[in-house]
Amino acid sequence: MSWWRAGAIGAARKRFEEDDDLDAPLKHQSVALIVGVTGIVGNSLAEILPLADTPGGPWKVYGVARRPRPAWNSDHPMEYIQCDISDEEDAHSKLSVLTDVTHVFYVTWANRPTELENCEANGKMLRNVLNAVIPNSPDLKHICLQTGKKHYFGAFQVFGKVAHDTPHHEDLPRLESPNFYYTLEDILFDEVKKKEGLTWSVHRPGLIHGFSPYSMMNAVGTLCVYAAICKHEGIPLRFSGLKAAWDGYANCSDADLIAEQEIWAAVDPSAKNEAFNVSNGDVFKWKHFCKVLADKFEVGVVEFEERSESNNLEVMMKEKGPVWDEIVRENGLLSTKLEDVGHWWFVDLLFSVESPLDNMNKSKEHGFLGFRNSEKAFISWIDKMKAYKIVP
């Protein structure tokens, strides 16, 4: 349920209604620029922002992505802009002409071999966007920057070695190691000073559950692809991780919930110039979710086995490209290559440690009361993968 449709109607919606009639159309016009619109949260923003009851609306939406617009994203009412924001000239020519933007939702990133390279590449991308938009959008009010939990436990190269103790909260100091999230924050803080009244918010989800065949870290999509291959080959699912990940408590961040928090922060004064964790508000265990996944694909599950080469997904899936091609062909699926929809390294990394937990206290104290039932949401994302014919 959307936070503004919950029993306690969100503070932002109340603030933007002009009378007591909750069915009256919202009269405030906003213009969103979603940078990374084909990503896992960008796609959710593109679905939610145009809805009639979205706070701050009615919204006009621009969506920016590097690749041509995909079929699974084509029914969202927005103006799609193909743009490589790592190219300063391309970013300036495509984005500086969008003079009516009121809110920027920056929900993209690039992956490089080292964290120092991540800092350089991602910093350049954000700077290119802000340099094109801030001077040319006189009505620009707010910039939402999405980062993540690596703010608290470090980049992939130091994963599990320098982390803060859990549960993570927003007041923890930065770690003493390179982190492109810190680079992005510093750029954001510097750039908003260039325009009087411009505000910001930073959003830190954990493991994101959502829908996007283009996401580099789509755990639900990757697990669906793995389950489909198991079904095709008549073998059970095997958990590719450690006992602590199988048996320990985990939490996740629903992509729609993240989008809702970012919209709340964009329009509610109580959220301005703050950083917020965003997670579903409950916990789960992967040993239970593996059974949920198996049931959805009608396969069995092997009880926990110690990690070895035989149950490491990156190794198991190394030669499965032709198998996936056969599954796509036989089931009339959207044409994809296994390397595009199966991010085995990420799931193996995810299952290599006990999940770091956070809390939503600060977000709730500032007025955002959204939540998700993680198991129901997990099932809904699997169903969406099937409905869009990404998996059978």
The pLDDT value given to residue 32 = 98
- Three-state secondary-structure class, residue 144: strand
Listed in sequence order, the residues at least 6 apart from 5 whose beta carbon sits closer than 8 Å to its beta carbon are 53
The pLDDT value given to residue 133 = 98
Dihedral of alpha carbons 373, 379, 385, 387, sign: negative
The pLDDT value given to residue 161 = 67
The pLDDT value given to residue 312 = 87
Judge whether 181 counts as a catalytic residue: yes
Tokens 């996007």 — which residue? 212
CA angle 107, 124, 131 (to 5 degrees): 85
Q: What is the pTM of this model?
A: 0.92
Structure confidence by residue, pLDDT tens digits, 12-34: 333 333 334 444 444 458 999 99
The pLDDT value given to residue 157 = 72
**Residue 273 near residue 200, CB atoms below 8 Å:** yes
Q: In the chain, which stretches have pLDDT less than 50?
A: 1-2, 5-27
- Selecting among 62, 106, 181, 214, the annotated active-site residue is 181
Structure confidence by residue, pLDDT tens digits, 91-121: 999 999 999 999 999 999 999 999 999 999 9
> For residue 110, with 0-12 CB atoms within 10 Å meaning exposed, 13-18 middle and 19 or more buried, which class applies?
middle
The pLDDT value given to residue 24 = 47
CA-to-CA separations, 58 to 123, 201, 224, 262, in angstroms, rounded: 32, 21, 35, 16
- Selecting among 94, 141, 150, 320, the annotated active-site residue is 150
Judge whether 318 counts as a catalytic residue: no
